Amino acid sequence: MSMSIGAYWVLVFLYILLSSGNSILAFSYDYSATTECLKEPQRAQYGGGIIANPEFTHTLEGWNVHGEGTIREGISKNGNRYIIAHGRTQSLDGASQTVQFVEGNLYTFSVWVQINRGSESVAAVLRTAAGELIRVGQVIARDGCWSFLKGGVFANFSGPAELLFQCKNTNVEIWIDNVSLQPFTMEQWRSHQDEIIQKEHKRKVTFQVKFANKTAVKGAVVSIKQTQSSLPFGCGMNHHILESEAYKNWFTSRFKYTTFTNEMKWYSTEIIQGREDYTVADTMVRFAKRHGISIRGHNILWDNPKYQPDWVKNLSPNDLRKAAAKRINSVVSRYAGKLIAWDVMNENLHFSFYEDKLGANASAEYFSRAFQLDPKTGLFMNEFNTIEDRRDEAASPTNYKRRLEQILSYPGNKGILAGIGVQGHFIYGQPDLAYMRASLDILASNGLPIWLTEVSLEAGPNQAEYFEQVLREGHSHPGVEGIIMFAGPEIAGFNATTLADKDFKNTPAGDVVDKLINEWKATTAELTTDSEGSIEVSLFHGDYNITVKDPLSNSSTSWNYNLRKDDKGGNVHILINA
């Protein structure tokens, strides 16, 4: 705390107040339902929305049979009613209900499911009038308790669609209860994003200025300047930045967080076996440090066989084990303590190069080794399509959670600073924000930090609009702690989502990013205290320089203040020698 010398003492009270507001249709981020299997299901969200008889209080009214088999009512010991689909011969056979959709609306979906034996994946699926099957969400259902299936869909059609429940094992019964399908307009969705940003990323702060004798200081000028935002919002960086002053200036004027797109990867640092070369990566690390830029390490190993160094692809299991051990020891030891995160094993929901050759626990073992070498740095899985593509069952949030839990339960992995990395490479077109939100909800139930690690959106008409939607959705979610875009200037080869042309003039997507950077930080304010010696202001989390100017002597007192995300209330007393 730095202070100037003055004629009197000023007492400043900071009251950190939670901002409040009414949610649209009571949006909620209660993740407890997704973390366990319950003996009795919770009530239907939004009262079931547009689902008829969502809690089966009117027996089976509104529900039909799709395909083969039958449906019947079930009643628990506590009197809870639900529906049972049995005698199924095809994966989609069972209970169904036809619901009307409106094009352009977003639909949140949830249901409680159970099966009568074992554990199986159960998905909610829509069948449109044109015969298209749209996967809404999935969960691992078990016997003896109820699991919460959460999903969502953006409606690119208007008309009826049949809600179905899919389980590939036709020998099990599917039990369902408390079904909900709630529509929202895009305007309602955006309003809720803004509301959550206000609630999760800002606090109301009251400054009260008093003399040492406790009398209020009317007319004191309080200057509030944010010196560092607590929101990690960054951009990918590659080796071209070492060759271009314009690229350096473009990047450093905007971003304090980055991921090197290729320069730390194994195929970049050891092209020829035994000849490690970290020259480019080291130079980029020094550049980032010089400019106060935090780095996510990407990546230690990659499970896709296509992206191994050429000499690695055909190694024997024994030689691969030795080479991978040398790699992880080399790169993690070299940058230990210099990074904010490691992507330990990249894309091991889609690929299994190391597991196929070294055993099912290969990824877990490399997490364990990275933890030993760099115990204070977050260790992440990093996967594509978990939030961006509901069609990709392999990368579903349910499968992501299960894989991460397997890794963390491996002996020696207790205490790892684990994190959830979802890439966010969206194909061109309207992003499915409802599915994205549901997926983030499911992932957040683990209580671990989530980062959007490589956000991009393919080029096409309306790209900037869609890109903004994705970034706002990520920023507004309470479970997301950071966002890195794999986007950038044309000169650096960012062709999917280009933020600046060859002359470093903004593209429309670049304009969106600059707009959000400015929107998500506090502007410098000069406010004058009222007759009570008070001012109130809403501030983003982050670091601030606060200056109080005495209205009588014009002397000033300054100090640094950090508004943390976990500041929930109460007050902080600061005594200042002015």
* Phi, then psi, of 494 in degrees rounded to 5: -85, 95
Residue 408 carries which side chain, given as an amino acid letter?
L
Give the start-end residues of each E strand in 185-309.
Answer: 202-211, 221-229, 233-237, 257-260, 294-302
Q: Rounded to whole angstroms, how far apart are CA atoms 26 and 45?
A: 10
Q: Rounded to whole angstroms, how far apart are CA atoms 513 and 504?
A: 14
Which residues fall within 8 angstroms of residue 335, CB to CB, at 6 or more apart?
A: 264, 285, 297, 374
Tokens of 166: 């899919």
- DSSP reduced 3-state for 397: helix
Q: Rounded to whole angstroms, how far apart are CA atoms 82 and 175?
A: 7
Using only the alpha carbons of the chain, give its radius of gyration: 27
- DSSP reduced 3-state for 478: coil
Identify which of 370, 343, 390, 374 has the alpha carbon closest to the alpha carbon of residue 486.
343
From the candidates 347, 383, 388, 473, which is the catalytic residue?
347
CB 178 within 8 A of CB 43: yes
Residue with tokens 């194994």: 266
* Phi, then psi, of 220 in degrees rounded to 5: -70, 135
Helices (H), 273-341: 279-290, 317-335
CB 385 within 8 A of CB 392: yes
Whether 454 is catalytic is yes
Neighbouring C-beta atoms of residue 543, cutoff 10 Å: 15
* Phi, then psi, of 251 in degrees rounded to 5: -70, -50
From the candidates 388, 454, 473, 481, which is the catalytic residue?
454
Q: Rounded to whole angstroms, how far apart are CA atoms 445 and 35?
A: 6
* Phi, then psi, of 172 in degrees rounded to 5: -100, 150
Which residues fall within 8 angstroms of residue 373, CB to CB, at 6 or more apart?
A: 328, 329, 332, 333, 336
- DSSP reduced 3-state for 551: coil
CB 188 within 8 A of CB 55: no
- DSSP reduced 3-state for 68: coil
Going by the DSSP 8-state scheme, the letter that residue 54 receives in this structure is T
Neighbouring C-beta atoms of residue 26, cutoff 10 Å: 9
Tokens of 32: 């407890």
Going by the DSSP 8-state scheme, the letter that residue 263 receives in this structure is T
Going by the DSSP 8-state scheme, the letter that residue 368 receives in this structure is H
Q: Which residues are catalytic?
A: 347, 454
